[in-house]
Chains A and B, each alone.
Chain A
Amino acid sequence: MAKHHVQTTINGDPIEFLCDTEETLLDVLRNQLNMTGTKEGCSTGDCGACSVTVDNRLVCSCLMLGVEANGKKIGTIEGLASGDKLHPLQQKFLEHAALQCGVCTPGFLVASKALLEKNSNPTETEVRYWLAGNLCRCTGYDKIVRAVMDAAHEIRSA
């Protein structure tokens, strides 16, 4: 079957790609566009490692087809930092040791950014339940919620 021509915007840059019908957005990002910052943890939408934003909505890119990205604005982990300057969330994850092996980390950061854009002053409970769809096996989560709260505070006071 002929491939689909998809025109999209990724982290602000216009991107075009060709993909098969059954390819997920995650497959396209990782295998075609070499944007491997978005991770594959389960491919069933259970772990959140492949989190991206689509027109500012948080989605698991393993549950979305590449063709569905046509005309949409995609945000990935590669778009968080501005050049060498880390986003406050990235900086706080680093300072709080809110990562170990790092495979869940991009998903947590993308999901946390989506939270703070909706709610700049979340309670700890709101952070914890918002991030309950992102699984981590190493860190024990504790430091992640501290990092997100701390980053939210810094962004508000900036």
Chain B
Amino acid sequence: MSDRSVPRYEAALKVTGRAAYEGEVPAVGLLHAALVEVPIARGDVVAVDASEAERTSGFATMVSYADAEPLKPSPATALIRDRAVHFAGQPVALVVADTLSAARDAARAVRVTTQARPSVTHMAQALNTAYVPAMVGRFPSVSNRGDATAALADADRVVRHRYETAANIHHPLEPHAVVCWWEGDKAVVHTSTQAVFGTRAMIAHAFNMPPADIRVISRLLGGGFGCKGQLWWPWMFLAMLAAKKTGRPVRLELTRAQMFRLVGRRQETVQDLALGFSTNGCLTGIAHHVTAQSSTHAEYSDATAVYTRYLYACPNVTTSHLLVRTNEPQPVPMRAPGTAPGLFALESAMDEAAVRLGFDPVDLRVRNFADHDQEAGRPWSSNSLRDCYCIGAERFGWARRPAQGTAVDGRWRIGWGMASTMYPAIRQAAKVRVQLAADGAVLVQCGTQDMGSGTYTALGQITADALGVPVDRVTVELGDTVLPDGPFSGGSQVTASIFPAAAAATAKLRATIAAMAIADEASPLAGQRLDDLEFRDGSIRSRSGNVGEPWANVLARKGTEGLEAEGESGATQHPDLTATSMGYGAVFVEIGVNAGLGEIRVRRVCGAFAAGRILNPLLARSQYVGGLVGGIGMALHERTETDRATGRMLGETLADYLIPTHADMPEFDIALIEEDDPHLPGSVKGIGMLGTAGIQAAIANAVFHAVGKRVRSLPIRIEDVLGRR
């Protein structure tokens, strides 16, 4: 095992049950909260009557739009300031009481009068209202390169199909929680959020108070995957209003059922995709048009077709995104946003094309490799996608792929499939502070939070490496707005963002210590050349002179309390980039389809991923495997069911919403292909999203390979294979 594969920083706390998550923070006089929901999918609240609830045992207070009205208008306060109902199960009030069961009893006793209005409960009911959003994330909604329409009309072969993906729910194991209280005009907010600084900024806006008067803490986060962001704010604000009104701390924890509705989903998509080829297998034209769901109270679109602009070499590419507003919950980014649904369509269609053109699926992709970013017209900062194909195929044994429909193992019909994956490598602004104690202990601080993916460990390792000390000498503090500003946890960019800031802080400290040593007559390094000094094994040493001493000794002789330095780094400036940075991968799968029952099992997966330099192979592999299993869920299990008559979600439990379990787990082989990337600080790219995309198409392609049936709608369920749908 590599010496970079150090165990997770906070693992000992997590395996002993001593890890304290934000909803578990103790508070004296704590009140418990419950939300009051309405069943209609669209309409208005006429009245909220708490008179009966007030008589229930333990009742403390209720807050509703009347209390939220003084908050400043914004997308984060719209749902709670307004009387409009946008989706079934929308909360309209929050009740607090002495115990959780008292709060739930009181919430049930609140009488809400509503005026229902006609609702749209599915995209299909309102396709005529589809519109083009201005942007999809940071990309334009519509793109045109060359003339795709003409190219498709002239193409020797055209593959043209509709692909669909279901609404998925993030479901981190920890439901959203807040424990909050007021100290005079100041607010203390312990909450499970992927963005402590964004949360602080939105509280400051909503409550019209200085950010310095607000402390948001998220030291340990029980998963997020995109849902612990802006959609949580309205419900958190209600808890803060209740804390203000009662003068007591308040805890609100969402129920699992509420996680289906209140904090986001991966949006449902319908994708029309056409690929045009010449007979020699070169792409001549691509048209990728996406229609997706957003809610009636906010707008969000994944960049679903955006990656079709980049992945392959093709002179003529057109893409577009349409949104349809429905009275369903609001979508937000979810694991591999955009790439997971978009690459399902693109990489399924590439497989269909390989079959039509008579090419091996890997060969067809290699033939269409994009040697530069054709959309922006600039080079890649690095792109090892062809190595991913080659190494993945070799390790999987792709060359021995049986002919379609011929491999059988007992009752199981065996299929092999593959697909590509990609995700942009971006950075956000970050500050990191490093303190050295006179005894050589190191403290590194950044306000960014660890979603569970390994930020504590990565920051500890980066700092330890830079100062030449063992990682166990480093204490890491994260997840608190009193610490230096750091990025939100999303888009696989935290590690890449904090790396240069930590490097800058540690470089300053090394320079200070080196200068102190050179100037210190008592140091064996007195008078040495600055550029000849290095930090390793806890010491500062001369490379050529074979002398050195523990750097703590340098500090100790000075009698200093210690040293401190802060490093800062900026966000990716997209318009100024001279090269486009992405991470890539190739995923190969073997599946079995039960010939009698139609059950699909993923038997083995080989993922070859190239995403810059890997800081910790143990945790990187863990993230890839976690992402791949998330992708298996999207491919084979996960789908929300909505009753179109009422707009209510059906089966709001983890028994009804299927996700992969231990018994669904295949055998994994992960190849980490390391890259030097001179355009990126430390050659660091994000890795979190890569594993989650690509595998959906690889599985669909393997299903076709096994049974000859092309399923173009996710999730692929038994009924799809049996032909009943």
Question: Which of A38, A41, A80 interacts with B174 by CB under 8 Å?
Answer: A41
Residues of B within 8 A of A135 (CB): 173, 654, 659, 661
Question: Per-residue 0/1 for B4-18: is the Cβ within 8 Å of any A Cβ (1 yes, 0 no)?
Answer: 000110111111111
Shortest Cβ distance from residue B176 to the other chain A in the assembled complex, whole angstroms:
12
Whether B7 and A137, one on each chain, are in contact in the complex, defined by CB atoms closer than 8 angstroms, is: no
Residues of B within 8 A of A90 (CB): 15-16
Q: Is B629 an interface residue (CB 8 A)?
A: yes
CA–CA, A134 and B654, complex, Å: 11
CA–CA, A133 and B558, complex, Å: 59
Task: Given A30-B24, A102-B222, verify A46-B663 contact (CB < 8 Å).
Answer: no
Residues of A within 8 A of B454 (CB): 100
Question: Which of A30, A81, A132 interacts with B661 by CB under 8 Å?
Answer: A132
Q: Is B622 an interface residue (CB 8 A)?
A: yes
Residues of B within 8 A of A129 (CB): 662-663
Q: Is B562 an interface residue (CB 8 A)?
A: no
Q: Is A149 an interface residue (CB 8 A)?
A: no
Q: Is A69 an interface residue (CB 8 A)?
A: no
Task: Given A39-B174, A46-B654, A140-B626, verify A94-B661 contact (CB < 8 Å).
Answer: no
B172 to A, closest residue via Cβ: A137
Whether A44 and B653, one on each chain, are in contact in the complex, defined by CB atoms closer than 8 angstroms, is: yes
Whether B11 and A23, one on each chain, are in contact in the complex, defined by CB atoms closer than 8 angstroms, is: no
A: contact size bracket: 35 or more
Task: Given A101-B172, A102-B10, A140-B668, verify A94-B663 contact (CB < 8 Å).
Answer: no
Residues of B within 8 A of A30 (CB): 24
Whether A138 and B626, one on each chain, are in contact in the complex, defined by CB atoms closer than 8 angstroms, is: yes
Q: Is A15 an interface residue (CB 8 A)?
A: no
Residues of B within 8 A of A86 (CB): 12, 15-16
Question: Per-residue 0/1 for B615-656: is the Cβ within 8 Å of any A Cβ (1 yes, 0 no)?
Answer: 000110111011111100000000000000000000001110
Question: Per-residue 0/1 for A14-37: is the Cβ within 8 Å of any B Cβ (1 yes, 0 no)?
Answer: 000000101100010011001111
Residues of B within 8 A of A139 (CB): 622, 625-626, 629
Q: Is B497 an interface residue (CB 8 A)?
A: no
Q: What number of B residues sit within 8 Å (CB to CB) of A? A: 58
Whether B663 and A128, one on each chain, are in contact in the complex, defined by CB atoms closer than 8 angstroms, is: yes
B57 to A, closest residue via Cβ: A1
Whether B625 and A142, one on each chain, are in contact in the complex, defined by CB atoms closer than 8 angstroms, is: yes
Q: Is B374 an interface residue (CB 8 A)?
A: no
Task: Given A77-B17, A81-B16, A101-B221, verify A137-B171 contact (CB < 8 Å).
Answer: yes
Q: Is A155 an interface residue (CB 8 A)?
A: no
Question: Which of A78, A133, A138 interacts with B452 by CB under 8 Å?
Answer: A138
Within 8 A of A (CB), among B236-293: 253, 255-256
CA–CA, A148 and B668, complex, Å: 17
CA–CA, A13 and B352, complex, Å: 64
Question: Which of B14, B621, B653, B665 interacts with A145 by CB under 8 Å?
Answer: B665
Residues of A within 8 A of B630 (CB): 137, 140
Shortest Cβ distance from residue A130 to the other chain B in the assembled complex, whole angstroms:
8
A residues bordering B, Cβ < 8 Å? 20, 22-23, 27, 30-31, 34-44, 46-47, 49, 76-78, 80-81, 86, 90, 93-95, 97, 99-106, 109, 127-129, 131-145
Nearest 8 A/B pairs, CB to CB: A37-B17, A101-B452, A102-B14, A140-B629, A77-B17, A140-B625, A103-B222, A46-B654
Given A37-B16, A93-B11, A140-B626, 7 more A-B residue pairs with CB atoms under 8 Å apart are: A22-B101, A27-B100, A97-B7, A101-B222, A102-B222, A133-B661, A134-B662
Q: List 12 contacting pairs A-B, 8 Å CB cutoff, sorted by A.
A: A34-B26, A41-B654, A43-B255, A97-B8, A100-B452, A100-B622, A101-B452, A104-B173, A134-B662, A136-B173, A137-B626, A137-B659
